[in-house]
């Protein structure tokens, strides 16, 4: 069941999409299209939801403003030679050509995409997307594997499963079933930012909400997490 709730935040009236499910904690999210939504535990009162949203007003407006600025400044990718595409926080010039086989090759300065037939933008995009997805799966699995010993030492349960997919408003999630899902586009961000998101989700294996215990655990395993989070917020990830 989904409701629309009007909430006054200062001088602005915000329309919030509210849904109810079996999660034990209330979740607030702001999407890139400007949609603000809340997923609340069953039987949560609207008064409690309104108080929670009003308490996060600064956070909501910061994200809305960031997404608005990205919409005004980001140019749509055309998947043609000369564009810049990111990988692990670095920009690489895209070089497209026709060759004997379909391939993507990353050099020190360029993304080289070769297609068997005359390169169309949709074909180039499909090849790049497949390459990014493969890199994301390999990188995320390795980062989790490298981090597990410090979580094991603290008695934190291990993840049951890792999934990688495109998400529009989150870098990662952790379910009650201990499935960690990471945004495939995160592979475009600097490695320290990737490590921060992974550590964040691994902390949810013990503390599902964002309370003092959660941040205490995050501080223990990654003392510089605030600087990494700040850096991630300043990165423009253009996923096409």
Q: Each residue of 139-177: pLDDT tens digit?
A: 999 999 999 999 999 999 999 999 999 887 789 999 989
Q: 188: Cβ–Cβ under 8 A, 6 or more apart, which residues? A: 86, 87, 88, 89, 132, 237, 238, 239
Kindly give the interhelix angle for 225-234 and 191-203, rounded to the nearest 10 degrees: 120
Residue 175 phi, psi dihedral angles, 5° rounding: -90, 165
Portion of the chain with pLDDT greater than 90, in percent: 52
pTM score: 0.71
Core vs surface per residue 124-161: b (16+ CB within 10 A) or e: beebbbebbbebbbebbeebbeebeeebeeeebeebee
* Residues of each domain in the chain carrying CATH 3.30.2010.10: 84-234
Topology of domain 84-234 in CATH is: Zincin-like (3.30.2010)
pLDDT confidence of 56, banded at 50, 70, 90? confident
The helix (run of H) or strand (run of E) holding residue 86 is strand 84-87
């Amino acid at each position: 069941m989904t409701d629309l709730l009007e909430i006054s935040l200062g001088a602005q009236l915000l329309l919030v999409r509210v849904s109810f499910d079996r999660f034990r904690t209330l979740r607030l999210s702001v999407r890139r299209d400007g949609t603000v939504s809340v997923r609340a535990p069953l039987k949560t009162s609207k008064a409690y939801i309104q108080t929670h949203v009003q308490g996060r007003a600064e956070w909501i407006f910061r994200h809305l403003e960031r997404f608005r600025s990205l919409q005004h400044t980001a140019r749509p990718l055309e998947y043609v030679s000369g564009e810049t595409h990111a990988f692990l926080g670095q920009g690489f010039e895209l070089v497209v050509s026709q060759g004997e086989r379909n391939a993507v090759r990353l050099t020190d300065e360029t993304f080289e995409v070769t297609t068997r037939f005359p390169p169309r933008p949709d074909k180039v995009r499909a090849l790049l997307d497949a390459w990014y997805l493969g890199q994301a799966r390999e990188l995320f699995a390795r980062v989790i594997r490298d981090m597990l010993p410090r979580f094991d030492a603290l008695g934190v349960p291990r993840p049951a499963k890792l999934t990688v997919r495109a998400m529009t408003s989150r870098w990662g999630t952790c379910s009650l079933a201990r499935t960690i899902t990471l945004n495939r586009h995160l592979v475009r961000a600097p490695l320290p930012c990737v490590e921060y998101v992974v550590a964040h989700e691994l902390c949810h294996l013990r503390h599902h909400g964002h309370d003092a215990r959660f941040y205490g655990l995050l501080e223990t395993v990654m003392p510089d997490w605030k600087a990494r989070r700040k850096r991630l917020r300043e990165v423009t990830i253009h996923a096409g």
